[in-house]
Chain A
Amino acid sequence: MKKSPFFKQIRESRLFWPVVALGLIFLFDAIYAPDFFKIGVLDGHLYGNLIVVLNDGAPLALVAMGMTLVIATGGVDLSVGAVIAISAAMGAVLINPALGNQLITNDILTANKTNTPLGIIILADLAAGTLCGLWNGFLVSRARIQPMVATLILMVAGRGIAQLITNGQIMTIYYTPYFWFGNGFILGLPVSVYIVGVVLLLATLLVRKTSIGMFIEAVGLNPKSTFYSGINEKNIKLFAYTFCGFCGAIAGLILSSYVKSADANNIGLSYELDAILAVAIGGTSMQGGRFSLSASVVGALVIWAFTLTMYTVGVPADALKAAKALLVLVVILMYSNQARTLLTRLAERKGAQHGIAD
Chain B
Amino acid sequence: MASQTDVFSPTRAEHLWLRVRPFLLNNGPLLITILVFILGYTLAGLVYPNMQKPQVFFNLFINNASLLIISIGMTFVVLLKGIDLSVASVLALTTIASAVLLKNGMSPALVIPLMLLMGITFGFVMGSIHHYLKVESFIVTLMGSFFARGMGAIISNLSVTINDPFYRALALTQIPIPLIPKAYVYPYSIVAIVLLLVAIYLAFFTRFGRTVYAIGNNEQSAMLMGLPVARTKIIVYSFSGFCSALAGIVFSISLSSGYGYYAPAMEMDAIASVVMGGTLLTGGVGNVIGTLFGVLINGTIISILQFNGTLSSWWTKIAVGVLTLAFIGIQSTFYSRRKRVG
Question: With the chains together, A145 CA to B140 CA distance in Å?
Answer: 24
A159 pairs with B143, CB closer than 8 A: no
A321 pairs with B147, CB closer than 8 A: yes
B321 pairs with A160, CB closer than 8 A: yes
Question: With the chains together, A277 CA to B272 CA distance in Å?
Answer: 23
Interface positions, chain A 293-328, Cβ under 8 Å from B, are: 316, 318-325, 328
B318 pairs with A161, CB closer than 8 A: yes
Which B residues touch A328, using CB under 8 A?
139, 142-143, 146
Chain B window 305-342, contacts with chain A (Cβ cutoff 8 Å), 1 for yes, 0 for no: 00000001111111011101100110010000000000
Which B residues touch A76, using CB under 8 A?
138
A338 pairs with B133, CB closer than 8 A: yes
Q: Any chain A CB within 8 A of the CB of B109?
A: no
Q: Any chain A CB within 8 A of the CB of B36?
A: no
Q: Any chain A CB within 8 A of the CB of B253?
A: no
Q: Which residue of B lies closest to A264 (CB)?
A: B314
A332 pairs with B129, CB closer than 8 A: yes
* Distance (whole angstroms) from the CB of B127 to the closest CB of chain A: 14
Q: How many residues of A contact B (CB 8 A)?
A: 46
Majority-rule SS of B interface residues:
helix
Q: Any chain B CB within 8 A of the CB of A88?
A: no
Question: With the chains together, A325 CA to B129 CA distance in Å?
Answer: 13
Question: With the chains together, A287 CA to B109 CA distance in Å?
Answer: 45
* Distance (whole angstroms) from the CB of B126 to the closest CB of chain A: 11
A156 pairs with B150, CB closer than 8 A: no
Given known contacts A156-B268, A164-B318, A322-B154, A149 and B275 CB-to-CB distance under 8 angstroms? yes
Question: With the chains together, A276 CA to B314 CA distance in Å?
Answer: 26
Pick from A153, A155, A276, A322: contact of B146, CB under 8 Å: A322
Which A residues touch B139, using CB under 8 A?
276-277, 280, 286, 328, 332
Interface positions, chain B 147-171, Cβ under 8 Å from A, are: 147, 149-151, 153-154, 157
Question: With the chains together, A155 CA to B315 CA distance in Å?
Answer: 14
B133 pairs with A332, CB closer than 8 A: yes
Nearest 8 interchain pairs by C-beta:
A322-B150, A157-B321, A318-B153, A160-B317, A321-B150, A325-B147, A163-B314, A328-B143
Q: Which residues of B contact A (CB under 8 A)?
A: 83, 85, 129, 132-136, 138-140, 142-144, 146-147, 149-151, 153-154, 157, 260, 268, 271-272, 275, 281-282, 312-318, 320-322, 324-325, 328-329, 332
Q: Which residues of A contact B (CB under 8 A)?
A: 76, 139, 143-146, 148-150, 152-161, 163-164, 168, 264, 273, 276-277, 280, 286, 316, 318-325, 328-329, 332-333, 335-339
